[in-house]
Amino acid sequence: MSDCLFCKIVAGDVPSDKVYEDEKILVFRDIAPKAEVHLLLIPKEHIESLNELSALEDSVVLHMMQQLPLLAAMAGIGDGYRTIINTGQRGGQVVFHLHIHLMGGGKLPGF
Ligand code: 5GP
Ligand code: ZN
């Protein structure tokens, strides 16, 4: 996906503040944080949104979920954090490469 911002970040063509990377996923700091800690976790393989999740291997989906508590602990928010996946324009999605927002620190507003 040559015109996808997050694919460019995976490829290293757009710089990012990386906090974790392995063969399946990349995790970096959100450029406009909405909490003290605001990370974005993405699969390296391009899929647009949660609606295309079935195109990802089960092992990648499971890995993404299983890394969340470890990443939260690494970022110092293991005792409480919020995960958000915006799907589609009407769901607030702006970047159309699946990502999980991992947020915490301070006091998160009510939801
Ligand atoms: P969405 O609204 O699609 O769920 O979230 C997209 C997120 O990507 C936003 O929180 C936005 O701040 C973040 N973002 C947009 N452009 C960039 C960028 O170039 N680098 C990083 N690190 N984050 C970005
Ligand atoms: Zn992409």
How much is the pLDDT for 1? 60
**CATH assignment of the domain containing 95:** 3.30.428.10
Please give the average per-residue pLDDT across 70-92, as a whole number: 98
How far is the CA of 60 from the CAs of 22, 46, 87, 104, 110, in angstroms? 11, 12, 19, 24, 31
Per-residue pLDDT at 2 = 73
Residue bearing the CA closest to ligand 1, atom 19 = 31
Ligand 1 pocket check for 89: Cβ under 6 Å:
no
Q: Do the domain assignments include residue 76?
A: yes
Tokens of 104: 């915490």
Q: Quick check: is 86 in a domain?
A: yes
Q: Is residue 111 part of a domain?
A: no
Whether the per-residue pLDDT at 22 is higher than 70: the answer is yes
> From the CA of 3, how far away is ligand 1's center (Å)?
15
Tell me whether residue 34 is in a domain. Answer: yes
- 81 located within any domain: yes
What residue numbers bound the domain in which 77 lies? 5-104
pLDDT confidence of 111, banded at 50, 70, 90?
Answer: confident
Summarize pLDDT for 51-68 with one digit per residue, the tens. Answer: 999 999 999 999 999 999
Contact 97, 86 (CB under 8 A): no
Q: Could you tell me the end-to-end alpha-carbon distance of the chain, in angstroms, rounded to an integer?
A: 34
In a domain, 54, yes or no: yes
**Could you tell me if residue 109 is inside a domain?**
no
Instruction: Give the ligand whose atoms come closest to the C-alpha of residue 14.
Output: 1
- The reply to whether ligand 1 has any atom less than 6 angstroms from the CB of 58 is no
Of all residues in the chain, the percent with pLDDT exceeding 70 is 99
Does ligand 1 have an atom closer than 6 angstroms to the CB of 91?
Answer: no
Q: pLDDT band for 99, please (50, 70, 90 cuts).
A: very high
Q: Which residue matches tokens 């996923």? A: 25
Is residue 110, in this structure, part of any structural domain at all? no
Mean pLDDT value across residues 29-58:
98
Tally of structural domains, the chain: 1
